[in-house]
Structure 1
Amino acid sequence: MPAPASPGDRTGTPGVVDPRQLWLAPEGPRRGRRPAFSREAITAAAVELADAEGLDAVTMRAVAARVGAGVMSLYSYAPDKETLLELMVDHVGGGLLPAAPLTGDWRTDLKALAHAQRALMLRHPWLPGALTARRTLGPHTLAFLEHALAALRPLPLDGAAKLEVISLLTGFVASHVGHELTSAAAAGAPDRAAAEARYLATVAADGHHPELAAVLASPGRPLTPEATFSRFLDRLVDGLDTAPGTPADAPGGA
C-alpha cells in the first residue's frame, strides 16, 4: 500500500495532507531495518481504538502502544493525527460498497448506497465527525465515488451536479447518523424525554401554536431509527430534479 507523507512532504499548510504523497508514494519507512509492523496494522489499531473509546482517544502514543511500537517509529507512516485520520477513514471505507451490483434504477441504487453508508457509520460511530475534516480521496473512497457516479449515470446531470448529489447524500447520512447516536445516548434518560413531551403538550394547548398543535394531534408514524431514516432518504432522493433539459441539457445549467 502507498505511504503517508513525511513531515517534509506536506503541502506547507498546517493540517493539510498532500494526497499524492499519502496515497501514491511507496510505503515507508524509507531507511533502516524492516519494521515489525505495517501502515495497515497502525491504521487498524487506530480504528479499533476509535471504535472502542472515541476519536479523542486516538493519539500517536495510544496507537503505538497497541501495535507494540515506539511512538517515534510511527511518524514514518503517519506524521500527525490528520494523516492518521485520512488513513482511518479510507480504511473503514473498504467495507462500504454494496455486494449487489447496480440495478440501473438510480433511485434504488442511490438509496442502497445511503443505507450502506449509514450501516458503516453506525459500526464506526466516530466516522460522521471525522468526515467533517476529510480532505483526500484514498483508494477505497475513490472506489465508492466511482460506484456512486455509475449509479447516477441515468440522471440528466452534468459532472459537477453529480458530485454535488453524492456530497449531499453523504452529508445527509452523516448528519442523520449523528442525530441517531445522540438520541440513543439520551434514551438512557427517560425523565428528560417525558419532560420534553409534557412541555410540548403545554405549548400546543396554549392557543398560540395552532400548527404545532395540529401536527402533534396527527397520527404518528413508525419511529424506529431505520424507518425514520428511510422516510427522510425517500424525500431526499425522490425530490431530485430529473426533468428533461435540466441541468445538463439546459444552456448554462449547473
Structure 2
Amino acid sequence: MSRDGGPGAAGVDPEQLWLRATGPRRGRRPSFSREAITAAAVALADAEGLDAVTMRRVAAEVGAGVMSLYSYAPDKETLLELMVDHVGGELPATPAVTGDWRADLKAMAHHQRALMLRHPWLPAALTTHRTPGPRTLAFLEHALAALRPTGLDGAARLEVFAQLTAFVAGHVGHEIAQAAAARSPDRRAAEARYLAAVAADGRHPELAEALSAPGRPLTPEATFSRFLDRLVDGLATD
C-alpha cells in the first residue's frame, strides 16, 4: 500500500514513534520540524477533512520535498498518530480532581467534545488511533486519578475511559452529521413527514408513543449532557 494510503500491515510502532529520536541525525539541519509537519497536517484536516491530508500536500505546506517528510512520518498512519496527539495537547492536563468521579468524568467528556468540535476529523481518526502519545497521556493520567474513587481496578478504569472517549467520538460524529443535514431544510421537512406517516400507520405503536412524548431541549449541548448523564450514571458501582 502506498505511503499516502491506509494503515500498513505492521501498523505504527509506538516505541519508535514516541521514545526514540524524531528526525535525521546527519546532514544539513532541515528548515522544518516534526512539530511543523504535524501542525500543517492538522490545519489541512481542520480546513478540508482527513482526505486532504496527503504527504504531498503537507510537504507543500511546509515548503519541503515530499521525500524529506518520511524521516519524520514514514506514512499517513504515523502522521495521523502525530496529529491526534498534537490536538490532544489542547485538553486540560491537570484540572483539579474533586473526588466526585461522576462530575469529574462528565467534565472530561465536555472537554473532549469541545476538542472534537474544533477538529471535526478527530472522531474518525480515533477509530484507528491506538497508542496515546505524550500529550494525550497527561489527560489519561488525570482520568485514571479521577476514577480512583470508583474502587475499580486499573484495567477497569482504562476501560471506562475508553468507553467514555468512544461515546464522545460517536456522539460528536453524529452531531456534525446532523448539523450538516440541518442546512438542508427540504431534507428535514421530508424526514418529519416520513416519521409522522410511520407514527400514524398503526403498525409501530412504540415509536408512535415515543414521538408523541413531550419534547426535551434539543440544543446540541443539552442533548449531549442528557446522553452523558445516562452513560455515567450507568457506570455507578454502588
TM (normalized to structure 2)? 0.94
Give RMSD over aligned pairs: 1.4
The runs of 5 or more residues in structure 1 that have no matched partner are: 1-6, 8-12, 244-254
Aligned residue for 1:27, secondary structure, equals coil
User: Shift of residue 99 of structure 1?
Assistant: 6.6
CA distance in 1, matches of 2:197, 2:154: 50
> How many residues align structurally?
232
Given the alignment of the two structures, is residue 24 of structure 1 paired with residue 19 of structure 2, yes or no?
A: yes
User: Shift of residue 100 of structure 1?
Assistant: 3.9
The runs of 5 or more residues in structure 2 that have no matched partner are: none
Given the alignment of the two structures, is residue 216 of structure 1 paired with residue 215 of structure 2, yes or no?
A: no
Given the alignment of the two structures, is residue 145 of structure 1 paired with residue 132 of structure 2, yes or no?
A: no
Percent identity, aligned pairs only? Answer: 78
Q: Is the 8 A contact 2:85 2:134 kept in 1?
A: yes
Q: Is the 8 A contact 1:85 1:130 kept in 2?
A: yes
Q: Deviation digits for residues 111-170 of structure 1, max 9, x if unmatched? A: 000000000000000000001111222101111110100110100211111111101100
Alignment of 1:10-159 (within 5 A): 14-97=9-92, 100-159=95-154
User: Shift of residue 59 of structure 1?
Assistant: 0.5
CA distance in 1, matches of 2:93, 2:182: 31
Q: Is the 8 A contact 2:93 2:139 kept in 1?
A: no
Between 230-239 and 100-109, the greater mean CA deviation after superposition: 100-109
User: Shift of residue 81 of structure 1?
Assistant: 0.5
Q: Is the 8 A contact 1:155 1:242 kept in 2?
A: yes
Task: Identify the match of residue 174 of structure 1 among 165, 169, 172.
Answer: 169
Q: Which runs of 4+ in 1 moved over 2 A?
A: none
TM (normalized to structure 1)? 0.88
Residues 109, 158 of structure 1: alpha-carbon distance in 2 compared, 3 angstrom cutoff? same
User: Shift of residue 14 of structure 1?
Assistant: 2.2
CA distance in 2, matches of 1:232, 1:33: 54
Q: Is the 8 A contact 2:94 2:139 kept in 1?
A: no
CA distance in 2, matches of 1:218, 1:27: 57
User: Shift of residue 30 of structure 1?
Assistant: 2.1
